[in-house]
Amino acid sequence: MGCFDTVLFRCECGNRIPAQSKSGLCNLNTYARTSVPLAVVAGLGETIQCESCGKQYRIVPSTRRVSLALLLRSNRKTDNS
């Protein structure tokens, strides 16, 4: 059995819909739909379905993905230091 994170959604009928993601840290964390890390969002897929009433929902992230550059900073002293 692999590790995953879970995002909880709520259907219009009131049923909770858990969706599993195998991207990100996968530390068996559970997130509300309003506080999901972008790395976890990537593994959710595009749709979920309520097991109670059968209604399908499309997952649409409301935040753009951000790409950050990491710059290695040298600890060496230069002549100007």
Domain that holds residue 16: 1-81
pLDDT of the chain, 81 residues: tens digit per residue: 689 999 999 999 999 999 999 988 888 999 988 888 888 888 888 888 899 999 999 888 776 555 555 555 555 555 554
Q: Provide the 3-class DSSP secondary structure of residue 64.
A: coil
Secondary structure letter of residue 40 according to DSSP: H
Residue 51 contacts residue 15 (beta carbons within 8 Å) = yes
CA distances from 2 to 22, 28, 73 (A): 9, 10, 37
- Number of domains composing the chain: 1
